[in-house]
Amino acid sequence: MTPMTPMTTSAPAGTSPESAGTADDLIAREERWGAHNYHPLDVVVAHASGAWVTDVEGRRYLDCLSAYSAVNQGHCHPRILAALHEQAERVTLTSRAFRNDQLPLFCEELAQFCGLEAVLPMNTGAEAVETAIKLVRRWGYATKGIATDRAEIIVFDNNFHGRTTTIVGFSSEALYRDGFGPFTPGFVRIPFGDADAVARAITPNTCAVLIEPIQCEAGILIPPDGYLRRVAELCRHNNVLFVADEIQTGLGRTGRKFACDHEGVRPDVLILGKALSGGFYPVSAVLSSRAVMDVFRPGSHGSTYGGNPLGCAVARTALAVLIEERLAERAQELGSWFLRELGALRNPVIREVRGRGLLCAIELTEPARRYCEALRDLGLLCKETHDYVIRLAPPLVVSREDLTWALAQLRTVFAMD
């Protein structure tokens, strides 16, 4: 038997054994052949449906990470799957050298959903952030009149906007930055949650403020009430663009369409990704007014796969599912109840429980990894973020019964000490 020959497993009835080996074998192969740029929990997923995933040995787990909120619509949503199939049989890629019959509808539907005028499609989140950076810089020169190469973008401590060299260059996290310089200049980093710090940092060269309305990777950090509104007002008064990275917080996760909606803030530039395609295919987008978007001209920016008909068809359906299944409303209803129940957990290691919609966090006084491992052993998948925080963010199609079950597992784990 060569190493590449699939091995059958003795998976229990109800799971198909087409996977390539046992969990231990697959983990060993991944460690042997893959780059070691992640430290995953050792669960080898072979199937998923809705809020639940099944590993290669047939064990089921409630997914409380949702691929960092990329599968808000639930795993393998049948409508999105059907759209993917249907479109894959017609045409998948034309490049933007030609037009396709899905891109116009994707742009129209997404713009109307977001209340903005123009859409630029990309693929991954980091690419969309890079696109937004180029957009606001060019706006700064062409429209605001900033002198060549002097544009500044205000960013925040503990930000997470992706992994490209420019983006990690303005991160405050040594793990993301160290060893990857030299970095792109033109970013001014200030504390998150302090509007006066924004007021002080704005100069005539400031073209934009780039902000996550809730800092997710930093540990679900929710700024004080009124903060986003004040930052947006400061931007307006100073002719600075307010750029919201809602790649993780957007599309229903926090109980509204967008986390900025909680404060009635409409960003000048909105960055989306993750759940925009419901987990099937990478689709991201930057949205803005027509006037801002029109600083891009043919040749200014592009991507071979950006705006491809397969991605557009998938994203159109992912958006329709979000609207028709009222997933933001579900997140609001289930999330407020779930958060209250989490708040009733009693254990000295729990420092704080916080959240918005179905974006919840339990902050501990000690590293969260072993609690995540204990929860995994009970069938609940979640991942520590920034060492001390357990993020709980199930697909928005999760049922109240599933969450009731999750609470029972959490009570078991936090009763252990």
Ligand X SMILES: *Cc1c(COP(=O)(O)O)cnc(C)c1O
Catalytically active residues are 160, 245, 274
Q: Are residues 51 and 395 in contact, defined by beta-carbon separation less than 8 angstroms?
A: yes
Looking at the Cβ atoms of 180 and 337, the one nearer to ligand X is 180
**The two three-digit tokens of residue 64, written as one number:** 């409380």
Nearest to 267 by CA among 233, 300, 237: 233
**The two three-digit tokens of residue 390, written as one number:** 């357990």
Task: Determine if 396 is a binding residue for ligand X (CB under 6 A).
Answer: no
- From residue 235, how far is each of 60, 209, 225 by CA, in Å? 48, 8, 17
Q: Looking at 106-114, 244-252, 262-270, 325-333, which segment touches ligand X (CB under 6 A)?
A: 244-252
* Residues in region 264-283 near ligand X by CB under 6 A: 273
Nearest to 43 by CA among 30, 300, 35: 30
Instruction: Give the C-alpha separation, 392 to 361, whole Å.
Output: 6
User: Minimum CB separation from ligand X for residue 284, in Å?
Assistant: 7
Out of 55, 63, 130, 245, the residue judged to bind ligand X by CB under 6 A: 245
Looking at the Cβ atoms of 26 and 275, the one nearer to ligand X is 275
Instruction: Give the C-alpha separation, 76 to 51, whole Å.
Output: 10
Collapse the DSSP code of 8 into the 3-class scheme (helix H, G, I; strand E, B; otherwise coil) and give the result.
coil
Task: Determine if 126 is a binding residue for ligand X (CB under 6 A).
Answer: yes
Looking at the Cβ atoms of 19 and 159, the one nearer to ligand X is 159
Looking at the Cβ atoms of 11 and 396, the one nearer to ligand X is 396
* Residues in region 193-222 near ligand X by CB under 6 A: 212, 216
Looking at the Cβ atoms of 212 and 363, the one nearer to ligand X is 212
User: Minimum CB separation from ligand X for residue 20, in Å?
Assistant: 26
Q: Which residue is nearest to ligand X (CB)?
A: 125
Task: Determine if 247 is a binding residue for ligand X (CB under 6 A).
Answer: yes
Task: Determine if 124 is a binding residue for ligand X (CB under 6 A).
Answer: yes
User: Minimum CB separation from ligand X for residue 313, in Å?
Assistant: 19
Instruction: Give the C-alpha separation, 387 to 68, whole Å.
Output: 16
Residue 20 dihedral angles phi and psi, to the nearest 5°? -85, -5
Task: Determine if 410 is a binding residue for ligand X (CB under 6 A).
Answer: no
Q: Looking at 19-27, 121-129, 310-318, 357-365, which segment touches ligand X (CB under 6 A)?
A: 121-129
Q: Looking at 37-45, 48-56, 119-127, 179-187, which segment touches ligand X (CB under 6 A)?
A: 119-127
Task: Determine if 130 is a binding residue for ligand X (CB under 6 A).
Answer: no
Nearest to 65 by CA among 79, 46, 81, 48: 48
Task: Determine if 68 is a binding residue for ligand X (CB under 6 A).
Answer: yes
Torsion of Cα atoms, 272 then 275 then 278 then 284, to 10°: 20
| Helices within 9-148 (DSSP H only) | 23-33, 66-69, 78-88, 103-114, 125-139
State the binding string over 371-390 for ligand X (x if CB under 6 A, else -). Answer: --------------------
Out of 9, 248, 277, 332, the residue judged to bind ligand X by CB under 6 A: 248
Out of 77, 161, 356, 376, the residue judged to bind ligand X by CB under 6 A: 161
Q: What is the DSSP letter of 141?
A: I
Instruction: Give the C-alpha separation, 374 to 386, whole Å.
Output: 18
Q: How many binding residues for ligand X (CB under 6 A)?
A: 14
User: Minimum CB separation from ligand X for residue 127, in Å?
Assistant: 7
Out of 65, 114, 120, 129, the residue judged to bind ligand X by CB under 6 A: 129
Out of 125, 219, 223, 250, the residue judged to bind ligand X by CB under 6 A: 125
Task: Determine if 160 is a binding residue for ligand X (CB under 6 A).
Answer: yes
Q: Looking at 32-40, 245-253, 307-315, 356-364, which segment touches ligand X (CB under 6 A)?
A: 245-253
Q: Looking at 123-131, 171-179, 258-266, 333-341, which segment touches ligand X (CB under 6 A)?
A: 123-131
- Triad 404, 407, 411: Cα angle to 5°: 145
Kindly list the residues in this chain that would bind ligand X in the complex (CB under 6 A). Answer: 68, 124-126, 129, 160-162, 212, 216, 245, 247-248, 273
